Amino acid sequence: MDLLTTSQAADYLRLGERKLYELVAEGRIPCSKVTGKWLFPRHELDRWVMSELVRPSGMVPPEPPPIVGGSQDDLLDWSLRQSGSGLAGLAEGTEGGVGRLLRGEVAAAAVHFHSEAEDANIAAAAAMPRLHDAVLVGFVRREQGLLLPPENPKSLNSLQDVLASGASMAVRQHGAGAEMLLSVLLAGAGAVAADLNRVHPPCLTGPDLAVAIRSGRADCGIATRAAACGAGLAFVPLVWENFDLLMRQRTYFQPSFQALLGFLTRTDFSDRAAELTGYDVSPAGKIRFFK
């Protein structure tokens, strides 16, 4: 870690040392006191400067509403309620949430991109020119798979089985992470969306898709293990995916998000993840990418 002394930090920020001490006294700048001396992590100073960035009116609202848009997730919904962060959720799919984030209509977007990239979420965040101050914070890794009626009466154990049998498949809307995953899996099987017996209209969330299967409207669909467990459905695992929170750097430092991120370190969070099933909480709260 690159640590700066008070004089070095003042030079780096082009501030007088007196002004720097004022910011320290007011708790407005990232720093740490070690053996009586103030030290300033350079990378935290960089983020602090970006968080205070002023943009011309019309680019994005200076303070977006305290809403997490993007993909729906049972553990995330529970965490927003239990953390005391004051954040609300607006689930409408990964790309829909990112669009709202870019327009300043939400403070963060829950995302799970799927592509040929080794880490699709990082690749997508890095490629967004309008999000030059992006921070990607890990929430969990999730297990995605085929949701099926109890006891899997049609013996559908893979996407190939679904294609070969002509089983009806509930799908998600365009831009949803699960729909991206389906496209990637179809390409790997040498198939296209038209080869599937797709049920319309698309389901807007994983729990909606689970209801479509539970009610008999569809034979199968792709969603999380937690969605399957919550609806009492059978589950065939397909992949583990990164499920992250994408936001601007200034948002990361806001008290509401710090409250949420702090909650992710508690045993309440890991215990709830274990109850819901299909989660790996090791990435929770870690910065996975920033620019």
Query: How much is the pTM?
Result: 0.78
Residue 23: give its domain's CATH number: 1.10.10
* Residue 228: predicted pLDDT: 97
* Residue 204: predicted pLDDT: 92
Instruction: Please indicate, yes or no, whether residues 183 and 231 belong to a single structural domain of this protein.
Output: yes
* Domain contains 270: yes
| CB distance 233 to 156 below 8 Å | no
Residue 246: give its domain's CATH number: 3.40.190.10
Local structure of residue 103 (DSSP, 8 states)? T
Instruction: Please indicate, yes or no, whether residues 99 and 235 belong to a single structural domain of this protein.
Output: no
* Domain contains 61: no
Positions of the chain with pLDDT under 50: none
Instruction: Please indicate, yes or no, whether residues 116 and 189 belong to a single structural domain of this protein.
Output: no
Instruction: Please indicate, yes or no, whether residues 131 and 250 belong to a single structural domain of this protein.
Output: yes
Q: Which of 193, 202, 94 is nearest to 139 (CA)?
A: 94
149, burial (CB in 10 Å: exposed 0-12, middle 13-18, buried 19+):
middle
Instruction: Please list the alpha-helical segments (H only) found in the chain.
Output: 6-13, 17-25, 42-51, 74-82, 94-102, 120-126, 159-165, 177-188, 206-214, 225-231, 249-252, 255-263, 267-276
Instruction: Please indicate, yes or no, whether residues 220 and 248 belong to a single structural domain of this protein.
Output: no
Local structure of residue 127 (DSSP, 8 states)? T
Instruction: Please indicate, yes or no, whether residues 265 and 152 belong to a single structural domain of this protein.
Output: no
Instruction: Please indicate, yes or no, whether residues 77 and 92 belong to a single structural domain of this protein.
Output: yes
Task: Report the run of H or E that residue 109 belongs to, with start and end.
Answer: strand 108-111
180, burial (CB in 10 Å: exposed 0-12, middle 13-18, buried 19+):
buried
* Domain contains 132: yes
Give the range of the structural domain holding residue 10, as residue numbers without chain letter.
Answer: 3-51
Instruction: Please indicate, yes or no, whether residues 152 and 264 belong to a single structural domain of this protein.
Output: no
* Domain contains 205: yes
* Domain contains 62: no
* Domain contains 257: yes
How many independent structural domains does the chain possess?
3
* Domain contains 60: no
* Residue 1: predicted pLDDT: 59
- In angstroms, the Cα distances linking 112 to 168, 196, 210, 237 are 25, 23, 19, 17
Instruction: Please indicate, yes or no, whether residues 102 and 234 belong to a single structural domain of this protein.
Output: no
Give the span between the Cα atoms of 111 and 94, in whole angstroms.
5
* Domain contains 137: yes
Instruction: Please indicate, yes or no, whether residues 202 and 116 belong to a single structural domain of this protein.
Output: no
Half-sphere exposure of 278 (CA within 13 A, CB side): 26
Instruction: Please indicate, yes or no, whether residues 129 and 182 belong to a single structural domain of this protein.
Output: no
Instruction: Please indicate, yes or no, whether residues 12 and 97 belong to a single structural domain of this protein.
Output: no
